[in-house]
Structure 1
Amino acid sequence: MSEGRAGCRDQTLLWLLDAGAISCAALDAYTAWLGEGERQRCARFVRAGRRRQFIAGRALLRLALGRLLDLAPRDIVLRERPGLAPALDTPAPEGVGFSISHSGPWVACAASTVSQLGLDIERIDAGRDLLALAEQALGPEDVAELRALAGQARVDAFHRMWCLHEARFKLGSASAADYVFAQPGLALALSASRPLTPAPPPLVVTLGELAAG
């Protein structure tokens, strides 16, 4: 890691969290970090699991941005944008990028001072009609590749392709570098507007409370 612009560390963080392992007391503490718009959105979720997922994702994002910007997580101000990812309202050097994604109890966050990012995670589910989904969302070359595969090879390839498709979409611009990660039962892809160093960035998996240090 190098120290770059004042108050900003030049690095990229990639964190994966099991939100189901967070205690209710800790979740209440993270809720206090939310802004008014985030609290209003959180209150509209009917399912408790979705509320937990949302709070954990915003807490993870604040911890990552706080680490990069040398700020306390509660000092990170995020603004809700209907249908879009949140915007960072805390003053930050140009070029800071971030992305969050969730699937089931899992929440992932990527944040960087050197690149814009798009991130996607998916729980691997062999029970879905993968070819039908691929024909709706992926390109003909990807569909042809999937048709040539069978069994677990097709399942793994589909989820890799799907995550890459979603990560590039979230990036919102041409991807200069794509990184694919595998965790038990999960697929994860990260797209970046600039190649990252190290490549791929290390994936840190957290199975419990989030540390604010």
Structure 2
Amino acid sequence: MRTGLQKVRVRILETNGSGAQDLDAALAILSEGELERFRNYHFARDRKDYALAHALLRRTLSDFAPETERGAWQFETRASGKPGVIARPDLDFSLTHTRGLVACAVADTGLVGIDAETDERPLDMEPLFREVCSPGERQELATLTGLARTSRFFDFWTLKEAYLKARGVGITGDLSLTGFTIADDGNIRLEAARGQPGPDATFCIYRCSGPARVALATLGITGLHDIEVTKAAKWNA
């Protein structure tokens, strides 16, 4: 059931401003399986991010279908390997969390994939350039230095992850066969890909406070005007 004109809703939450009360509210709507996975995280900050991410997804799903309580959503793994909502094949979703930031995307038309990453992730990037980046991407990276180079690399990384999530395939094979050209955060073109999508593929990047970004890929969506984005610094915002 559609509740608005948007075909995709993106919710981004920076979790450092969420406290114990917010965590309790999130835990109250998680399933037993989610609670078990929550308890398996070693660090408290990772547990909090996991809980808030999955609660954010449940809240966003109920934005599309208010008749369904947030805690009532049930999930399955579809034949493609992509997670799905039981009994709601019309809804597609994607979920991501990195330390201090969680995000989800829900669509009632087409397919979505979302990924978040921070420039502060400790990685030895140089060996990854040839493994991860297309020739065009490597050419752009060669013109950059320092933080600008790091940031652009993670732009490419998150776009690839979001695109493959939207398609319902994992990070397998040669990632350098998928490449992007970024004119700006709202003008991104797929330059090479396995299983090239049609012209109705849309890609964009949303910048968050600090060195973090969220990359979104949609398939079957005509453009950015079909996407509603909400950013918040607190769970109840």
Q: 1:200 to 1:121 in 2, by over 3 A?
A: farther
Number of matched pairs: 201
Does 2:82 align with 1:57? no
Question: Which residue of structure 2 aligns with residue 44 of structure 1?
Answer: 40
State yes or no: 1:75 paired with 2:72: yes
- For structure 2, the 5+ residue unaligned runs are 169-195
CA RMSD in angstroms, aligned pairs only: 2.4
TM-score (norm 2): 0.75
Is residue 37–residue 79 contact of structure 1 (8 Å, CA) maintained in 2?
no
Give the superposition deviation at 1:144.
Answer: 2.4
Residues 154 and 191 of structure 1, relative CA distance in 2, 3 Å threshold:
same
Alpha carbons 2:84, 2:92 under 8 Å: kept: no
Q: Which moved more, 1:125-134 or 1:68-77?
A: 125-134
* Partner secondary structure for residue 227 of structure 2: coil
One-letter code aligned to 2:234: G
Corresponding residue number in structure 2 for 1:177: 202
> What TM-score results when the alignment is normalised by the length of structure 1?
0.82
CA contact (8 A) 1:126 1:155 kept: no
CA offset at residue 15 of structure 1? 1.1
**CA 1:127–1:36: 2 relative to 1, 3 Å:** closer
Mean CA deviation greater in 197-206 or 49-58 = 197-206
| Contact in 1 for aligned 2:109/2:221 (Cα 8 Å) | no
Q: Which residue of 2 aligns with 1:204?
A: 230
The secondary structure found in structure 1 opposite 2:51 is helix
Distance 2:127 2:92 in 1: 33
Q: Gapped runs of 5+ residues in structure 1?
A: 1-6
One-letter code aligned to 1:59: A
Amino acid across the alignment from 1:181: Y
CA offsets, 1:11-58, max 9 Å, x none?
211111012222212212221211121122112111111111110001
Judged with a 3 Å threshold, the aligned counterparts in structure 2 of structure 1 residues 45 and 85 are, in CA distance, closer, same or farther, namely: farther
Give 1:102's aligned residue: 97
